[in-house]
Chain A
Amino acid sequence: MSEGIVYPGPKPLVEERRITRCSQETVDLGKEFGSRLRSGAVVALVGPLGAGKTTLVQGIGAGLGVNEAITSPAFNYLLEYAGQLPFCHADLYRIEDARQFFALGLEEYFDRDGVLAIEWAERIADILPPRTISLYLNPLAKQDEREIIVCLGPPHATK
Chain B
Amino acid sequence: MTYPIEQIRADFPILNEKIRNKPLVYLDNAASCQKPQAVIDSMVKLYSHDYANVHRGVHTLSVRSTDQMESARHKIKTFINAASDKEIIFVRGATEAVNLIAQTYGRANIHAGDEIIITAMEHHSNIVPWQMLCEQTGAILKVAPMNLAGELLMDEFEQLLSTKTKFVAVVHTSNALGTLNPVEKIIKLPHAKNIPVMLDGAQAIPHTAVDVQKLDCDFYVFSGHKLYGPSGVGVLYGKQALLEAMPPYQGGGDMIRTVSFEKSTYAGLPYKFEAGTPAIAEIIGLGAAVDYLNTIGMQAIADHEASLLAYATQQAQQIDGLKIIGEAKEKGAILSFTLGRIHPHDIGTMLDSLGIAIRAGHHCAMPVMEFYQVPATARASFAMYNTKAEIDVLISGIQNLIEMFG
Interaction A to B: no
B→A interface (CB under 8 Å): none
